[in-house]
Structure 1
Amino acid sequence: MATQFFSKRNLQFLLYEVFNAESLTQYEYYQDHARETFDMVLDSAEQIAEKLLKPLLTEMDRKEPQLVDGKIRIHEGMFPILKKFGEDGWINAGFSYDEGGQQIPSTILNSAAFIFQAANYSASVFPFLTSGAANLIRSFGSEALKNTYTPNMYAGVWQGTMALTEPDAGSSLSDISTTAEHTENEGVFKIKGQKIYISAGDHDGCENVIHLMLAKIKGGPAGAKGISLFVVPQKRIDNSQSIIHHSQLIDNDVITAGVYHKMGYKGAPIAHLMVGSNDNTFGYLVGEPHKGLTYMFQMMNEARIGVGMNATAIGTAAYYASLEYAKERPQGRIISDKDITKPQVQIIRHADVKRMLLFQKAVVEGSLSLLIQCSMYADLAHVTEGEERENYHLLLDLLTPIAKSYPSEMCCLTTSAAVQILGGAGYTTDFPVEQFYREARIHPIHEGTTAIHGLDLLGRKILIKNGKSLQLLIAEILKTLEKANQFKNLKPFVQKLQHYLGKTDSVTRHLLGLASKDLEIFLSDATLYLELFGIMTIAWQWLVQGIKAEETLQAGTSGDEANFYQGKIFTLRYFYEYELVKIDALMKRLLSEDNVTVEMKAEWF
């Protein structure tokens, strides 16, 4: 197994040299922190990842959770991990001091999560699911709900989940059929239905599971407008359904009907839940009736950035595993050397292996850059006011579908490249890359399929406030181009990005022109538009990194540091030569008048 699973040097480069995360401490909310604080958080994350998470990577994959006597049993190694996350305050670290949090910026917490995820994705998901669920309660729940549920969630004693999906309602949440019926107690409802694919929906590593569940109140509006959000605990407080005073926990008629066995990400249980089978499930309304989808989207948007980070982390771990192998594995000789008496060379000397390594490096380091950029926008949106705050929100909203989907799709390909580099060895369980390959595949599905995010980007985000978010992003890219143009060695990349930025604008205008004529044709290739936009966005992030690398190289550096910055420049070159040019083919398709996918009939397959 590879000893390195992420690059601390690259993380520091992005946080402190490229994005200047320390600048957040000038704002009152973060003023108690400094780089020293941030480094302590990241060092702590690395220690937990090295000592607790990474040693269980393979074992959790091979000893997946099982449903035994109605309870999902997880790997026993998770018990101390869950306790550690709770005791060390990771679950509510980003919340305010008043709520027992530490007011750590998302930029730093997401970077710490990246370390956990690269070490062991399955083990990393438990605490952050709880954090997301608790965040919904603290944001929209009553004081009684907060006081009853969040302390044990923060402590890691109670697991939190997001319970959306149903057998007949996946991405189409307006079609959910789980119902909520009024009781004589205000805010307390009888819940009935079923939920599937619920991450950490049941397990024996916690005392209770708190589901943030979507359901429709009987008699409410049809469709999405009638969806409400409820706290539905696996075990409820035995005091006649009142949640104000603690008492003994009793069964809340939330039955675990099954556990799904997956191709990857096996260490974390995914449950099938039956709710109210005995007409004895009580749920507690969060916020106002019929606003559940609005509330849930807060968590989903945070989770979507998290999914992009998950994919990037797994892709990063696979990259370092294949890089280590390529440096050690001898095979063949340089293609121009015909002397078979000479010793074989390490495969990293071969151009095609370097191409596959550059592909991985370009995707994972470009993706991580975008995700930290988004995290900075989220933090700035939290501490600024007025138009400045709105602008950061708009930028974050526009980039979220890209930050989720580009790493998710591309790390399926980069982990495949890692397997390819190892050859036959990569196809065996003797090396971890086959596991990374399997684990990467969930992310184009998690928190909305790629198609959903394509529709979101083209059908909604591009149009918000008459295109203001797109204008703001273009302004950010133009600032980067102007700065990069000051460096002679970066001018060719400036010209290329300007060219493709113009092409992306042309495609966007063409597609928007179709919107009023035929909505189905307008959105039929939204996924391809998302792919095009993602490539252009990552190209921007590589130029952002290239500026700092070129600046440092010109100032003078040597040894490992010079190698690090040269690696950045060459990966920038690779991305612009191999990846950015893919926009040409995408643009040709998006401008075509052949609407084959719309005109194709189901019976012709």
Structure 2
Amino acid sequence: MANQYVDLDTLKFLLYKVHDLQSVLDQDRYADYDKESIDMMLNSVKDFSDKELFPFFREMDEHPAHFKDGEIVVHPQVNKYMKAGGEMGFISGPFPYEDGGMQMPAMALNASAYIQEAANNHLPGYIGLTVGAAELITHFANQELKDTYVPNMLEGKWGGTMCLTEPQAGSSLSDIVTSATPDGDMYKIHGQKIFISGGDYQGAENIVHLVLARIKGAPAGTKGISLFVVPKNRPAADGSLSPNDVQTVADFKKMGQKGYCTTHLFFGDKEDCRGWLVGEANQGLKYMFLMMNGARIGVGRGAAAIATAAYHASLNYAHERPQGRQLTSTGKKDANQEQTLIINHPDVRRMLLLQKVVSEGSLSLIFLAAKYQDLSMSSADADEREKYRLLLEILTPVVKTYPSEMGKVAVDNGVQVLGGYGFCSDYILQQYLRDIRIFAIYEGTTGIQSQDLLGRKVTMNNGKALQLLSEEIMNSIKASMAHESLAPYAKKLGAKLELTQQVLQSLMGFAMKGDYQRFLADATPFMEFFSNILIGWLWLDMAREAQNALVTGNTENSTDFYESKIHAMQFYFKYELPKTSALAEILMDNEQALTIGTDKKVFA
């Protein structure tokens, strides 16, 4: 298989041209960076990924992380990658200078992580969880906890996790029972957590767990949840480490991402597990979810990266595999002709183009969210910061969901391109399909994200976020109308924006009557409907930038490159955007097919 798993030309086109990274670099917070330094960084990340990530991708699947003698055995590359992550700034990149970080913009960091994840999606999660845990400490913990844990985490010496889920609670965090009992200036922690990514592994000097637990006597539900730093090994003043009664009970044997360990942890089996409160008591869930925007962007980014790598693998195959013959002008095949490459068959081209519009559209969505994240923190104007915060809020559930759901559809089409070979372990597509399936579950399932979008984000601030997003889309439509060739597509997108209003008016009728169960019953079809329109918007933007480059002659890539973006937009508007009409019909149908009847009647 060729060593092409990502297209840097497309990545840079989206980063610099479509989403204008320079507008972020112009902010005072990022004054130390320019296009040249970001370019250099991305090229070095690609070189590193070629040598240290991609070559081990299949090997980590064939020799998965596993539980043995009380610990998780991982591929040797895991510890090597953590060390490199500290040295190359993969961990410290997002942190401010005062915390020992590099204060890089999220747009550039997401571009770097995307390259790594496309090369080998089993490894970057170890760093991603360490970043998330360290961010919680720097944002909310006292100075002593920051000084004790963060430097070693940023250097890649210590890993980190976020421990939310429990066996009896699942996604319902209000039902967690892990307890925290006051003991001087610390707490005794007792309980268990499951599905902890990077929870423990052989060779790690220390793992710093950020644990949600309930202090004795705390209020029931989510209002009584606190956040604690619970290290695997307790650090002493002299730098030595001693066991902290955190035990790995087992690992989870997964269908994909087998090199990325997922563990079952028990805290306090010997009644000697100590934790330190982060921030105020009973504010743990609030703290954890303040970090979730970044985590959910990360999930969408990982899915987009896998979809991209799968696209390049199936595209390479289609350029190499001869099979069948093209139809002649009589509608028949000439057996005397030589076999044609399968990329010449229309249905194979359709599947490849579907992969292209999903993977590149997803990456564009990632960069847009990252841009909103950057500007919500760095803009000098308070109103501007609030604007971008609201735009980020409404976009986040979509960023997590569209690449995860449509990414697996795209990869599945990649398997189909290979035919029978796609189902065989000799080829990489089957691994991509297994790996991507978890992303629709990570950090809140599709159903949870969909209810968040329709039930919270669309209605938040009396619909202010949706209004701002609609204005952004209308600005793109108006700009695209300046090109005669793009005007028909701009009009189509405008009609879909009007359709969105009709759909929401229909759904809001149930909410206004207090029938919230019916209001949210079709949240997932609404997510699909809404996402489809947003990706159409982003493809129109890509086509406009490509058209601008062709018209002005201000091209950094070949004419074919820009024409391919316009053609992909046309494909999306023909094959994907029209699906919103059927979804709108579903959403505006008053039939209560999901909210009536008992289980016995419905599922008899």
Q: TM-score, normalised by structure 2?
A: 0.97
Structure 2 match to 1:219: 217
Which whole-Å CA distance do the structure 2 matches of 1:19 and 1:374 have between them? 10
Structure 2 match to 1:109: 109
Structure 2 match to 1:144: 144
CA contact (8 A) 1:134 1:153 kept: yes
Name which of 404, 411, 414 aligns with 1:408: 404
Which whole-Å CA distance do the structure 2 matches of 1:532 and 1:392 have between them? 23
Matched, 1:378 2:373: yes
Which whole-Å CA distance do the structure 2 matches of 1:302 and 1:166 have between them? 23
Matched, 1:9 2:1: no
- Kindly report which structure 2 residues correspond to 1:171-182, keeping only aligned pairs within 5 A, or say none: 171-182=171-182
Which whole-Å CA distance do the structure 1 matches of 2:28 and 2:555 have between them? 39
Structure 2 match to 1:339: 334
Q: CA deviation at 1:76?
A: 1.3
CA contact (8 A) 2:3 2:50 kept: no
Name which of 238, 244, 247 aligns with 1:255: 247
Give SS of 1:268's match. Answer: coil
Compare 509-518 and 548-557 and name the one that shifted more. 548-557
CA contact (8 A) 1:82 1:205 kept: no
Give SS of 2:279's match. Answer: coil
Deviations 1:361-380 (A, max 9, x none): 01110111011011111111
Structure 1 match to 2:89: 89
Which whole-Å CA distance do the structure 2 matches of 1:292 and 1:264 have between them? 31
Q: 1:594 to 1:149 in 2, by over 3 A?
A: same
Structure 2 match to 1:299: 291
Q: CA deviation at 1:127?
A: 1.1
Structure 1 match to 2:207: 209
Which whole-Å CA distance do the structure 2 matches of 1:402 and 1:597 have between them? 23
Which whole-Å CA distance do the structure 1 matches of 2:181 and 2:2 have between them? 53
Which whole-Å CA distance do the structure 2 matches of 1:155 and 1:247 have between them? 15
Name which of 401, 418, 421 aligns with 2:417: 421
Give SS of 2:439's match. Answer: coil
Which whole-Å CA distance do the structure 2 matches of 1:544 and 1:318 have between them? 24
Structure 2 match to 1:241: none
CA contact (8 A) 1:121 1:265 kept: yes
Name which of 492, 500, 509 aligns with 2:488: 492
CA contact (8 A) 1:148 1:246 kept: no
CA contact (8 A) 2:2 2:316 kept: yes
Which whole-Å CA distance do the structure 2 matches of 1:76 and 1:558 have between them? 43
CA contact (8 A) 1:162 1:211 kept: yes
Structure 2 match to 1:228: 226
CA contact (8 A) 2:450 2:524 kept: yes
Q: CA deviation at 1:81?
A: 1.6
Matched, 1:76 2:76: yes
User: What residue identity is the alignment partner of 2:559?
Assistant: A
- Kindly report which structure 2 residues correspond to 1:129-208, keeping only aligned pairs within 5 A, or say none: 129-185=129-185, 188-208=186-206
User: What residue identity is the alignment partner of 2:469?
Assistant: L
Compare 478-487 and 544-553 and name the one that shifted more. 544-553
Give SS of 2:569's match. Answer: helix
Q: CA deviation at 1:298?
A: 2.0
Deviations 1:536-584 (A, max 9, x none): 1101100111110111122348996111111111110111111111111
CA contact (8 A) 1:380 1:392 kept: yes
Structure 2 match to 1:579: 576
Q: How many residues align?
A: 597
Name which of 305, 314, 320 aligns with 1:322: 314
Q: 1:101 to 1:558 in 2, by over 3 A?
A: closer
Q: CA deviation at 1:205?
A: 3.3
Q: CA deviation at 1:598?
A: 1.0
Give SS of 1:284's match. Answer: strand
User: What residue identity is the alignment partner of 1:21?
Assistant: L
Which whole-Å CA distance do the structure 2 matches of 1:318 and 1:453 have between them? 25
Deviations 1:118-167 (A, max 9, x none): 00000111112101110110000100000000011011111100100111
Q: CA deviation at 1:96?
A: 1.6
Q: CA deviation at 1:230?
A: 0.4
Structure 1 match to 2:562: 565
Q: CA deviation at 1:400?
A: 0.3
Name which of 571, 594, 601 aligns with 1:597: 594
Name which of 257, 263, 267 aligns with 1:271: 263
CA contact (8 A) 1:156 1:206 kept: no
Structure 2 match to 1:466: 462
Q: CA deviation at 1:44?
A: 1.7
Matched, 1:368 2:368: no
User: What residue identity is the alignment partner of 2:275?
Assistant: G
Compare 71-80 and 192-201 and name the one that shifted more. 71-80
User: What residue identity is the alignment partner of 1:376?
Assistant: K
Identity level (%): 46
Deviations 1:572-602 (A, max 9, x none): 0111111111111111111111111111421
User: What residue identity is the alignment partner of 1:172?
Assistant: S
Q: CA deviation at 1:312?
A: 0.2
Q: CA deviation at 1:237?
A: 2.8
Which whole-Å CA distance do the structure 2 matches of 1:542 and 1:575 have between them? 8
User: What residue identity is the alignment partner of 1:546?
Assistant: A
Give SS of 1:162's match. Answer: strand
Structure 2 match to 1:242: none
Which whole-Å CA distance do the structure 1 matches of 2:556 and 2:475 have between them? 31
Matched, 1:475 2:467: no
CA contact (8 A) 1:198 1:271 kept: yes
Compare 332-341 and 418-427 and name the one that shifted more. 332-341
Which whole-Å CA distance do the structure 1 matches of 2:56 and 2:18 have between them? 33
Which whole-Å CA distance do the structure 1 matches of 2:437 and 2:268 have between them? 33
In structure 2, stretches of 5+ residues that fail to align are: none
Which whole-Å CA distance do the structure 2 matches of 1:103 and 1:155 have between them? 15
Q: CA RMSD in A?
A: 1.3
In structure 1, stretches of 5+ residues that fail to align are: 239-244
Q: CA deviation at 1:506?
A: 0.8
Which whole-Å CA distance do the structure 2 matches of 1:17 and 1:93 have between them? 23
Q: 1:404 to 1:567 in 2, by over 3 A?
A: same
Give SS of 1:549's match. Answer: helix
Give SS of 2:547's match. Answer: helix
User: What residue identity is the alignment partner of 1:530?
Assistant: M
Deviations 1:355-394 (A, max 9, x none): 0011000111011101101111111111113111000000
Which whole-Å CA distance do the structure 2 matches of 1:417 and 1:488 have between them? 33
Q: CA deviation at 1:282?
A: 0.7
Matched, 1:357 2:352: yes
Which whole-Å CA distance do the structure 2 matches of 1:2 and 1:169 have between them? 44
Give SS of 2:16's match. Answer: helix
